[in-house]
Structure 1
Amino acid sequence: MGLIDLPDDVLFDLTWYLSIEDVLSLKQTCRALHAFGSSDYLWRRMIQDVELPLDLPSGVRTSSLSHDELRSAAIKAMRLDANWSRRKPLLKRVKPLVRDGNGPFVDDVQFVPGGKWLLTVQRYLQIHWTTRIVLWSLEDLENAYRVAVIETTGSHRSSSLDVQDDGQSITVVTGLSGCQEILEVYAISLQDPDDFSYHITATPPLSRRIVLPPHPRDPEQTPVIHELTAVEDVIAGTALVNEHLSLQIFLASSESGYFRWVDPEITESISISWVKLYNGHLILLGMIGPSLVLRIYKLPNAVNGGLHAGSSGLLDQGCADLGPVIYQASQELKHETELQNISRVSSPSTSSISVLMIYTLRNQPTSIGQVMRFSLPFSPRTMSFACETKYFLLSSEVWVPLAQVGPTGRAVWLDHNWETERRSLLRYHPRPCVAIYAERITFDGIR
């Protein structure tokens, strides 16, 4: 009996053990297996296990896409990954976007998976602090241009962006500091092809403004925004709420203006560093003693209902209980004699989330990077680890701004050596059985 003689349900069970590359090869063997490998159902299931960033808007459900659309997105992601893994990646084009060398420093950069859209954030001081947020179109690298420019009063704290409405708009949420700590929400339309063809830069209006209220436990203190993340119309973030630098979690709605402080049930002393949202869940990453702990909570119905309620500007008094932890993992950090210099956390995928930390060593000639990849329970295919960690060496006296890390542990950053004033683009690429060093990226034909 050959493969083509097996019932479809048995073949579907066998594909749990196959990669996308295997399925693509299987399709080339005969007409029957080509038809089987072109099933929408198969690709909707297979795409859930793709750990690479896919060029799919977050507002689009994979159940609404055909196998051709899903296959194209997966192949594009694998080609980008293969190029990234090269010793000298092939580079289409180098284009300077922010040209003003004497102007405001770039505080933050964020890519939408697939590389079509880039968000840059700058701040500068005139009479008052001003934040400039620019959304760039990178679909045509020969003619990259500004889609929208936002100029707003206040010093930038954190920003997040999310593709909405089947890819027809992008929501930008930014946290600002001034007389108050404020969340501002902007909706940028991507629908007008005439504006795009003439590269007309939009100035999107402010669609929602939320002032952070005092925390119930510290009503006399003004909270300070630490970090933001936005998915669809839900905003999650952390804020410093007292002089002891205690980080607390809040949830808000970019659509209704609903705001609520939330309180996870934690008996240990924990320093909350990041929160992320994924499919109705809140992912919390924080320090407990010498370990980094990941905990996942399901957003309670009371909070979920408020976030999606139609009432505008609703503020619930008190803290909402997040309920029990539904998943937990931990990883011990490096030695206590090391100083944490920089840390970044990736967006979550169905199967993993990664954290990049770089340490400056006391009385040592080198720095050390650490990448921790935590397994997540959202994929039907269970990972073989709860958390895996890798270390790599860096030169001394470096500053690592604008670092980025992906859910699979790939990381890239701009290295600045203060002694030589040399800047380099470095990356960490997890490879088995290879010496662990940060690699300087060099491109063919590019210095």
Structure 2
Amino acid sequence: MRILDLPEENILQILFLLAINDIFSLRATCRRLHRITDSDYFWREVYPRSDLPLTISPSLDPRKLSGDEIRRTFTKALRLDSNWSLRTTAIRVVCTLVKEKSDRSYDELRFLPGGTLLVAARRNQSAERSTVSFSVFSIVDMTDPYKIASTEFEGHLNEFSVTLVDEDRKVVIATTLNNSIDGKQWLEVHHTSIPDAPPSAHVSNNHFDTPFRWAAEDVAFLHKVAVNGEIVAASIRWGHDSSVERIHKFLIANWRTGYTCAVIPQNFPIFSSVDIKLFPFHFVTIVASDDELVVLKAELDERLFNGPEHPFIGASDGASPGPDMQLRTWAEYQLAKKDLIISDSTNIGEHQPPRSLSFIAFSTGHIWNTKWEGIRLSIPNCDAQSSANPVVEVSKPFYVLESCYPEHVCLGTTGRRAVWLEREIDTGDARLMKMSYDKSRNVGPTVGVLLSSAPLLPFRPNLVRTLAFDEATGRVALALITSAIYVLDCA
């Protein structure tokens, strides 16, 4: 019996098992399959099954999208995937976001979900005080970018995280910082609305609200921070001795209601680095030592979403914390002498849970080593109610060019794509590199040059101070030491 002779519901079940590029190929060659795959139902079912990075906002319910909208999104994603997997990826558009030249360059960049908004942070240090300034840029139209908001906060910035809420109409910035006036460590959440003004208006909004502030105890140091929707989390390190990493606890809060929970680790492993992630239903911390990678996970307390309101949180002793959540070891992997880069969580949200937690691990040692080796690791189903110790998928190794070392490595949400700066030890010249990985092809990651050391552009990569990457749109933002910002679009 031919497949086309089967009932339509059986054909649909077979199609749901296929890769998205195979579905498009069949649509183009068979009239009946084209008709079967032309419904809203079909594309809404395909959407959550695909591991292809998509530009659909993680806060947007796909059931509200038509089949045509989802199909067009897949078409754009396949076009980018084809371009990115080439040895030489074509850069379609180069956008000059900031032209200014000064001695105060931007320190960090972050894309917001969808890749059409970029947050730039700049630490300002003087003898009297420390401040941090944030600028939010719109790059919906790469040919006509503009600044939509800017602000400045008191204190030295430790870390920051960004997200979108309220149907992507509000930018949220969560920070951990050391206030230069009162000397306290603060966890703060700020937000500003995205204006409806047309691009021609180019009016910058300087108003940020601060609905949430939490001060740590005097001997504590607030370090890592993560925000996803209305939930914010921070790691609290006991003592200021940077040579000894001792996590006292993790604070998790709903920044709208003020409801807080503490995650207090029991028998926390000794580590050389720690990071945190917020998924729709779990808090995750990633711990790396000289010889091991450990991932610990705690289920988020329901009261974080539906709990009572605490109108404003100030000092830590007035936080009215909720019950503690239990942190359990979820995955372990022996990883000797590696620098670890963790996939970002930009495109993760209520309607787009993470399908995996991915890593790039570069061999470490002395910078003058002749060859740096990298591997890609992935833990599947990281937000599911799965058993502990899942299988850690490990790729074949890939290599950095001899006499070079990697800087500013950014790994996308799904772990399929990454970018980094590859700097030559002897000359200081740099190239912008890109990685592509497709598990279905059963080969290791492929690495290529995205931007040569001397491109036909107004700048050279050796001037890059920091960068940001949005995997779904193929956009790379580069902040130079001259304070200029450029955005490359590969879609």
With the shorter chain as reference, the TM-score category is 0.7 to 0.9
Partner Cα distance (1:268, 1:183) in 2: 25
User: Any conservation in 1 of the 2:235–2:250 contact (CA below 8 Å)?
Assistant: yes
- 1:193 aligned residue (192, 197, 202): 197
With over 3 angstroms needed to count, the CA separation of the structure-2 counterparts of 1:28 and 1:446, relative to structure 1, is same
1:169-208 equivalence runs, <5 A: 169-178=170-179, 179-194=183-198, 196-208=199-211
Q: 1:258, CA displacement in angstroms?
A: 3.1
Size of the alignment, in residue pairs? 431
Partner Cα distance (1:145, 1:416) in 2: 31
> In the alignment, which residue of structure 2 is the partner of 1:332?
334
> In the alignment, which residue of structure 2 is the partner of 1:156?
157
With over 3 angstroms needed to count, the CA separation of the structure-2 counterparts of 1:409 and 1:25, relative to structure 1, is closer
State the one-letter code of the partner of 2:227. A
1:24-39 equivalence runs, <5 A: 24-39=24-39
User: Any conservation in 2 of the 1:372–1:390 contact (CA below 8 Å)?
Assistant: no
With over 3 angstroms needed to count, the CA separation of the structure-2 counterparts of 1:262 and 1:379, relative to structure 1, is closer
With over 3 angstroms needed to count, the CA separation of the structure-2 counterparts of 1:20 and 1:379, relative to structure 1, is farther
1:261 aligns with 2:262: yes
Q: 1:62, CA displacement in angstroms?
A: 1.7
User: Any conservation in 1 of the 2:290–2:335 contact (CA below 8 Å)?
Assistant: no
Higher relative contact order (Cα pairs below 8 Å, separated by 6+ residues): 2
Partner Cα distance (2:445, 2:17) in 1: 29
Q: 1:366, CA displacement in angstroms?
A: 3.0
Partner Cα distance (2:14, 2:383) in 1: 21
Partner Cα distance (1:75, 1:261) in 2: 44
Q: 1:37, CA displacement in angstroms?
A: 1.0
- 2:448 aligned residue (429, 439, 442): 439
- 2:373 aligned residue (368, 374, 385): 368
> In the alignment, which residue of structure 2 is the partner of 1:217?
none
- SS of structure 2 residue aligned to 1:94: strand
With over 3 angstroms needed to count, the CA separation of the structure-2 counterparts of 1:391 and 1:62, relative to structure 1, is same
Partner Cα distance (1:11, 1:288) in 2: 49
User: Any conservation in 1 of the 2:212–2:312 contact (CA below 8 Å)?
Assistant: no
Moved more, 22-31 or 111-120: 22-31
Partner Cα distance (1:366, 1:29) in 2: 47
> In the alignment, which residue of structure 1 is the partner of 2:434?
427
Partner Cα distance (1:285, 1:302) in 2: 24
- SS of structure 1 residue aligned to 2:374: strand
State the one-letter code of the partner of 2:299. K
1:132-147 equivalence runs, <5 A: 132-147=133-148
Q: 1:293, CA displacement in angstroms?
A: 2.1
**TM-score, reference length from structure 1:** 0.84
Q: 1:205, CA displacement in angstroms?
A: 1.9
State the one-letter code of the partner of 2:236. A
User: Any conservation in 2 of the 1:373–1:407 contact (CA below 8 Å)?
Assistant: no
User: Any conservation in 1 of the 2:281–2:383 contact (CA below 8 Å)?
Assistant: no
Aligned CA RMSD, in angstroms, stands at 3.3
- 2:393 aligned residue (387, 390, 395): 387
Q: 1:267, CA displacement in angstroms?
A: 6.5
- SS of structure 1 residue aligned to 2:103: coil
Partner Cα distance (1:399, 1:267) in 2: 30
With over 3 angstroms needed to count, the CA separation of the structure-2 counterparts of 1:304 and 1:164, relative to structure 1, is closer
> In the alignment, which residue of structure 2 is the partner of 1:52?
52
Partner Cα distance (1:430, 1:55) in 2: 18
With over 3 angstroms needed to count, the CA separation of the structure-2 counterparts of 1:368 and 1:129, relative to structure 1, is farther
- Listed one character per residue, the Cα deviations across residues 294-339 of structure 1 (whole Å, up to 9, x for unaligned) are 2333213344444xx43323555668433474x833322134xx6x
Partner Cα distance (1:203, 1:256) in 2: 24
- Listed one character per residue, the Cα deviations across residues 108-156 of structure 1 (whole Å, up to 9, x for unaligned) are 2222344212222121213422212122212211112212112222222
Partner Cα distance (2:271, 2:325) in 1: 16
Partner Cα distance (2:319, 2:11) in 1: 51
State the one-letter code of the partner of 1:446. L
> In the alignment, which residue of structure 1 is the partner of 2:216?
213
> In the alignment, which residue of structure 1 is the partner of 2:278?
277
Q: 1:265, CA displacement in angstroms?
A: 5.0
State the one-letter code of the partner of 1:238. S
Moved more, 137-146 or 179-188: 179-188
Partner Cα distance (1:422, 1:150) in 2: 34
User: Any conservation in 2 of the 1:107–1:402 contact (CA below 8 Å)?
Assistant: no
User: Any conservation in 2 of the 1:110–1:118 contact (CA below 8 Å)?
Assistant: yes
- SS of structure 1 residue aligned to 2:90: coil
Q: 1:264, CA displacement in angstroms?
A: 4.5
- SS of structure 2 residue aligned to 1:33: helix
User: Any conservation in 2 of the 1:161–1:171 contact (CA below 8 Å)?
Assistant: yes
Q: 1:234, CA displacement in angstroms?
A: 0.6
State the one-letter code of the partner of 1:67. G
1:408 aligns with 2:412: no
Partner Cα distance (1:90, 1:379) in 2: 37
Partner Cα distance (2:358, 2:334) in 1: 14
1:278-317 equivalence runs, <5 A: 278-287=279-288, 290-306=291-307, 309-313=308-312, 316=319
Q: 1:361, CA displacement in angstroms?
A: 1.9
State the one-letter code of the partner of 2:356. S
- 1:224 aligned residue (221, 226, 246): 221
- Listed one character per residue, the Cα deviations across residues 34-77 of structure 1 (whole Å, up to 9, x for unaligned) are 33212333322321133233212232122222222222222222
Partner Cα distance (1:116, 1:287) in 2: 33
Q: 1:288, CA displacement in angstroms?
A: 6.3
Unmatched 5+ residue regions in structure 2? Answer: 458-491
Partner Cα distance (2:405, 2:272) in 1: 26
With over 3 angstroms needed to count, the CA separation of the structure-2 counterparts of 1:133 and 1:52, relative to structure 1, is farther
With over 3 angstroms needed to count, the CA separation of the structure-2 counterparts of 1:16 and 1:328, relative to structure 1, is farther
Q: 1:291, CA displacement in angstroms?
A: 1.8
